[in-house]
Structure 1
Amino acid sequence: MATQQEHYEQLLADIYCWMMGGFASGLAKNVHFFEQHAITPGGSGLAINLGAGCGFQSIPLARLGFCVTAIDTSEDLLRELQNNAAGLDIQTVRDDLINFDHYTTGRVELITCMTDTLLHLESKDKVRRLFEKVATSLETAGKCILTFRDLSAEVFGTDRFIPVQSDDSRIFTCFLEFEPETVKINDIVYRKEEGKWLLSKSDYRKLRLSREWVEHQLVEAGLSNVETKVDGGLVTIIATK
C-alpha cells in the first residue's frame, strides 16, 4: 500500500492536469469558483493553498492579488506550478500540509484545502490538528475553504468502479474498497504506446469524512461561521473566523 505521496510520485503526478480535464479547464473552474464566492483580498492579503498541486487554486488567487504560499508534497506538481506562475506572487513549499504554519510569519486572510486534499491526511486526529492550526493562523474575518468528496456512505458492487478520464491514448479508472474509517483507492491507468496498451496501477487510502463531522470539528476549532453546500457528493465548506 502506497502512501499518498508515493501514489502521486508513482502514478498521478504526470497525469494530474490531464485527469482534471487539462490545465486551462482546471484553472477556469477555480477562477469561476472564487468569483462566485466573492473571494478577494480585504485584509492582510496572505493566502495559503494546501495541496496546491499544479496551481489550479494558487494561480487564480495570485491573479486576484493574494500573496500565496503553495504547499504540496509533489516536487513534480510544484515544478509545474512554478512554470505556469511566472511573475505571480507565489511561494512554493514542498512539505506535509499539516506543517503549513512553519512558513507563515503572521496571521493570514485565506487558507484553501480543496479537491479532496483533506482526505489525504492519515487520520481524523490529524484533521483536527489541522483545523486547530487553521483557526489559530487566520486573522479575524479570515476564511478557510474546503472541498472534498463525502465518502461516508458506502457504495456496493459495480458502483465502486469510477471512470475518471479517457482519450484515444489513455484510460483512467478507479475502484473503491470501503473500510471502516478509510476507502482504499485503486487507480488503474492504461496508456497506448506504439499500438499497445500498457498498464500502470497503484493504491492508497483516503479518509471517510462526513460533512457533519467536518462542520463540527471546524466549530470546535474556533471557526463559528460555517457555510456548506453539497452538489453531487462534492462538499464545499467556507468557514470564517
Structure 2
Amino acid sequence: MTTVQEHYAQVLADVYSWMFGGFEPAIRKNLEFFKQYNISPRESGVAIDLGAGCGFQSIPLAQIGFAVTAIDLEQKLLNELKENSGKSNIKTIQDDLINFDRYIDSKPELIVCMTDTILHLESKDRVNFLFQKVFSSLEDKGRFVITLRDLSHELSELERFITVKSDENMIFTCFLEYEPNTVKVHDIIYKKNGSSWKHKKSFYRKLRLSKQWVEKQLEDIGFSKIESSIDNGLITVVVTK
C-alpha cells in the first residue's frame, strides 16, 4: 500500500501549488483566514505549522509576526516554502508532524494543522494522541487551528469521480472509494508532453472524521473554547487552551 509520504513524493508534491490555484492566491486566502479569527502574536509569538507543505500557512503567519516552525515529511514542498519565504522568520523541519514537540524550545501560542493534514494520520487513536500533545505543548490561552474535509458522509456512484483541477496542459482527477474508517483517494494526473499525454497515478487513505467527533475529543482533552463551522464541506475548528 502506498503511504501518504510516498503518494506526495510520487504524485502530489510537483503539482501541489497548481492544484490550489497558485501560490499567491493561497497566501492571500490564509492571510484573510487568520485575520477573520483575530490570529496575531500576543504572547510568545511562536507558531507551529503541522504538515506545512509549501508554506500556505507558514508564510502568512510569518508575515503577521510569528516565529514559525514548519514541519512536513515532503522535502520538495519544504524546499518550495524556503524559495518563496524570502527572509521570513520560518524554520523548516523534515519529520513526521507527530514529533513536533521535539523541535520547540518554548511553549507556542499557536499550532495549526490545516488543509486535510489531520486526515493523513493512521487512525483516530493517532489523531487523539496528537491532540493531547498539542494541548500539553501550548501556552495558557494558546490556540489550535484545524481545517479538514468532511468525509464522514459517503458519496455514491458517479459522485465519487471528481475533477480536482484542469488546464490546457494538465488534468487532475480523483476517485473516492469509501471504507468504514477511511477513504481510498485514487489520484490520476495527466500532463501534456508535446503532442502526447503522460500520466501518474497513485492512491492513499484519508481518515473519515466528523466535526462532532473532532470537537468531542478536543473538549475531553481540556480545550476550553471551541469555535467551529462547516462551509461547502470544509470543517474549521479553532480551540483555546
Q: TM-score with structure 1 length normalisation?
A: 0.99
After superposing on structure 2, the runs of 4+ consecutive aligned residues of structure 1 that deviate more than 4 Å are none
Q: State how far apart, in whole Å, the 1-side matches of 2:174 and 2:233 are.
A: 16
- Secondary structure of the corresponding residue to residue 175 of structure 2: strand
Identity %: 57
- Secondary structure of the corresponding residue to residue 206 of structure 2: strand
Q: State how far apart, in whole Å, the 1-side matches of 2:111 and 2:41 are.
A: 12
Residue in 1 aligned with 2:137?
Answer: 137
How far has the Cα of 1:162 moved from its partner?
1.2
How far has the Cα of 1:38 moved from its partner?
1.1
How far has the Cα of 1:37 moved from its partner?
1.2
Q: Which letter maps to 1:78? A: L
Q: State how far apart, in whole Å, the 1-side matches of 2:60 and 2:143 are.
A: 16
**Residues 124-166 of structure 1: per-residue CA shift (max 9 Å, x gap):** 1100000000000111110000000110111100000111111
Q: State how far apart, in whole Å, the 2-side matches of 1:220 and 1:49 are.
A: 23
For structure 1, the 5+ residue unaligned runs are: none
Residue in 1 aligned with 2:37?
Answer: 37
Q: State how far apart, in whole Å, the 2-side matches of 1:86 and 1:228 are.
A: 33
How far has the Cα of 1:224 moved from its partner?
2.0
What value does the CA root-mean-square deviation take over the aligned residues? 0.6
Q: Which residues in structure 2 correspond to 1:1-241 (within 5 Å)?
A: 1-241=1-241
Q: Which letter maps to 1:160? A: R
Q: State how far apart, in whole Å, the 1-side matches of 2:86 and 2:169 are.
A: 31
- Secondary structure of the corresponding residue to residue 142 of structure 2: strand
Q: Which letter maps to 1:50? A: L
Q: State how far apart, in whole Å, the 2-side matches of 1:156 and 1:87 are.
A: 47
Query: Number of aligned pairs?
Result: 241
Q: State how far apart, in whole Å, the 2-side matches of 1:229 and 1:193 are.
A: 42
Q: Which letter maps to 2:204? A: Y
How far has the Cα of 1:176 moved from its partner?
0.1
Q: Which letter maps to 1:119? A: L
- Secondary structure of the corresponding residue to residue 144 of structure 2: strand
**Residues 39-80 of structure 1: per-residue CA shift (max 9 Å, x gap):** 100010000000100101000000111000000000000000
Q: Which letter maps to 2:173? A: T
Q: TM-score with structure 2 length normalisation?
A: 0.99
How far has the Cα of 1:106 moved from its partner?
2.0
Q: State how far apart, in whole Å, the 2-side matches of 1:186 and 1:49 are.
A: 26
Q: Which letter maps to 1:181? A: N
How far has the Cα of 1:36 moved from its partner?
1.3
